[in-house]
Structure 1
Amino acid sequence: MILEIILLALILFFAFIFVVAYKMVTPPREIKNWTPKDAEIEYEEVTIPTSDGLKLKGWWIDRGSEETIIPLHGYTSSRWGFYIIPMIETLAKSGYNVLAFDFRAHGESEGKYTTVGDKELIDLISAIDWLKKEKPSSAKRIGLIGYSMGAMVAIRALAEDERVCCAVADSPPMYLDKTGARSLKYFANLPEWLYYFVKPISKIITGAKEVNPIGYADRVKKPLLLIAGKKDPIVKVEEIKEFYERNKKINPDVELWITEAAHVRTIQLMPEEYKEKVLQFFEKYL
């Protein structure tokens, strides 16, 4: 009888773990009615094919420039994210072309599962491929601004895609396990130790590889602005500082801005200073 109870408890536990893992890799989609037109910005609805067969939805904003900036949203967000919309307005009204799109399994894009920084690099590279093919005169120089998961992708792209000139990385996770465990508590209000049961099931579901951006600290040699918040419950300032200290040994154009904000909330805490700093960075390096 005791063995049967233990067996039933184990079955229920792993069934619960599977449900949690599935929900973590299939986040709710953020879709809103706002478009750049609401900010009096002309735009074009675009569909971007990925190299692995998905279709990503996005907006193309042509400001007649040779420079394009691509904002990259975080996990559970989209091009309607609270930090993406003001950056679209700021960048476009400052004269930059903007290509904003939803990562796979987010917003209006195809894809069943998010891989939190792995296959999302395919999405970005495919977006740059589309940009170079469809808008070549507008994409002579390309910059990125990424948030959380999008910041991970931006850092990877700096090292892996020669077409990217520079990037801003706001609240980039550095260690997948540490951030994953904290995220389980932050997003699902579950104990962090459950992550180590959830992780292998998530990897089986998605087929994703583990991405630890800290490993790119020895590879990125292009201008990079890192933004970290002291009140961030998901990514510790010390982890971003570790990347910065390692990267500056090979990269004279890496900068670190530490604020009092929570995760990707600096733009809310100090909006004008944030926009000014981002624009100064792109003006200098893009």
Structure 2
Amino acid sequence: MKDKKQTVLAVASIATSIFTAASFALFEYAICRKKKQPDIRKKEKWKPYLNYVLKEQKWLYEHQEKELKTIESKDGLKLQAVYIPKENAKGIIICMHGYHSAIEIEFVPEIRFLWDLGYSILLPWQRSHGKSEGRYITYGVKERYDLKQWILYANDMLHMAQRDIFLCGISMGCATALMAAGLKLPKNVKGIIADCGFTSPWDIVKHVAKTRLHLPSFPLMYSVNFICKIFAGFGLKEVSIPEIMKQNQIPILFIHGDRDQYVPMWMTVKNYEACAGPKELYIVHGAGHALAFSKDMEEGKRWIQKFIKKYETRKRNE
């Protein structure tokens, strides 16, 4: 009997150790900053568009008027962004990149197009990415406040207070922009271009853990959520984008590819359906994650240009 009890205790101890290790491993995988910078040339999904992206990267790198801007987050992190000014700009478009990505990857195919529409461009590195400080990625929960800081910076320091501001986000950057819509933003924020965003941190971490890592959601997600609260200072269930959308009045163009296996399309559809304000939905057939614009550039340009022109208030050469 004693031996049986010891065996049960030993098995329970081993199971607990494995569960704890799995929880911290998922936390490390999903929440912590990565040391290596992403390289688009090594990403399989970008191969069909690589030549074009590299050409647009060259334009970004060699742009003579490119400036590095810095702000401090509410919790004391130094955040940086690349600013591309436009002479006699109608306003500014602030582009938020995705999870474990960078400013010179997802937005590069469309930066020059957006700039040519008559807008200055601001490309922040989200906290815990690139040149911005931070150890933990919070899936938009804290990043939404960083975005609001950038909006206020654009109004105060880049003289945009009397001009239009549009927000543009891809993947986690989309979630950041949609979550920021729940904050009290300046009235000159005229619209959001929301490309392949998720519904909540809980939903996307759960989806990735299941589909990519083949891990059970229960009870693992609850353990990871607890670790997030203790170490990273946020909860995976802290913010629900559909709930924010129920009160939103900022016009939003929702975009998603129907072949997205990382952030499933139903998440954008759910956000779109919940949105109370002016909204449009553009589904790109055959596009994988964060590839909607690259998959069909001409149609993407048409949708985005039409959306911006519909809600902008300042005309160029005014």
- Do these two structures clear the TM 0.5 threshold for a shared fold by scoring above it? yes
* 1:111 paired residue number: 134
1:265 aligns with 2:291: yes
Pairing partner for 2:198 from 173, 179, 183: 173
Helix, strand or coil at the partner of 2:289: coil
Other-structure match for 1:6: 12
When residues 109 and 139 of structure 1 are mapped into structure 2, their CA distance, relative to the original with a 3 A threshold, is: farther
- Pick closer, same or farther for the CA change 1:138–1:78 going to 2, 3 Å: farther
Judged with a 3 Å threshold, the aligned counterparts in structure 2 of structure 1 residues 201 and 190 are, in CA distance, closer, same or farther, namely: farther
Give 1:103's aligned amino acid: Q
Alignment deviations for residues 64-83 of structure 1 (CA, whole Å, 9 cap, x no partner): 214100011111112122x2
Note if contact 1:36-1:42 (Cα within 8 Å) is conserved in structure 2: no
- Which residue of the partner structure matches residue 247 of structure 2? 219
Letter in 2 for 1:56: L
* Whole-angstrom distance in 1 between the partners of 2:304 and 2:216: 34
Q: Is the 8 A contact 2:65 2:84 kept in 1?
A: yes
Task: Measure the CA separation in 2 of the matches of 1:121 and 1:11.
Answer: 35
Does 1:75 find its partner at 2:75?
no
Q: Distance in 2 between matches of 1:17 and 1:206?
A: 14
Give yes or no for the alignment of 1:60 onto 2:83.
yes
Structure 1 stretch displaced more, 106-115 or 131-140: 131-140
1:126 to 149, 152, 162: 149
Distance in 2, matches of 1:171 and 1:37, equals 23
When residues 175 and 58 of structure 1 are mapped into structure 2, their CA distance, relative to the original with a 3 A threshold, is closer
Question: 1:150 aligns to what?
Answer: 173
- Please identify the structure whose Cα radius of gyration is greater: 2
Give the Cα separation in 1 of the matches to 2:62 and 2:308: 22
Alignment-derived partner of residue 276 in structure 1? 302
Going from structure 1 to structure 2, the CA distance change for 1:47 and 1:96 (only over 3 Å counts) comes to same
Q: Distance in 2 between matches of 1:268 and 1:195?
A: 34
Question: Do the aligned partners of residues 190 and 107 (structure 1) sit closer, same or farther apart at CA in structure 2, a change above 3 Å counting?
Answer: farther
Compared with structure 1, are the counterparts of its residues 100 and 36 closer, same or farther at alpha carbon in structure 2 (3 Å cutoff)?
Answer: farther
User: Cα deviation per residue 1:82-106 (whole Å; 9 max; x = unaligned)?
Assistant: x211222221233210011111101
C-alpha spacing 1:138/1:84, structure 2 compared with 1 (3 Å): farther
> Conserved in 1, the CA contact under 8 Å of 2:194 and 2:252?
yes
Q: Please tell me whether the aligned partners of residues 104 and 120 of structure 1 are also in contact (alpha carbons under 8 angstroms).
A: yes
Provide the aligned length of Structure 1 versus Structure 2: 281
Distance 1:172 1:5, change over 3 A: same
Contact 1:182 1:233 in 2 (8 A): no
Would the alpha carbon gap of residues 140 and 202 (structure 1) be closer, same or farther in structure 2, given more than 3 Å must change?
same
How high is the TM-score relative to the length of structure 2?
Answer: 0.80
How far off its partner does 1:204 sit?
A: 2.1
Say if 1:159 and 1:221, in contact at 8 Å, map to a contact too.
no
Tell me how large the CA RMSD over aligned residues is: 2.3
Cα pair 1:97 1:138 within 8 Å, conserved? no
Q: Partner amino acid for 2:279?
A: V
TM-score (norm 1): 0.88
Q: Is the 8 A contact 1:146 1:154 kept in 2?
A: yes
Question: Does the CA-based 8 Å contact 2:33-2:134 persist in structure 1?
Answer: no
Which stretches in structure 1 are left out of the alignment for 5+ residues?
Answer: none
**Shift of residue 40 of structure 1?**
4.1
Change (3 A) 1:151 1:90: same
Q: Distance in 2 between matches of 1:35 and 1:58?
A: 18
Identify which of 84, 96, 103 aligns with 2:107. 84
**In structure 2, what residue type is equivalent to 1:4?**
A
Moved over 6 A (4+): none
Q: Does 1:18 align with 2:44?
A: no
Match of 1:30 among 37, 42, 45: 37
Give me the identity figure in percent: 29
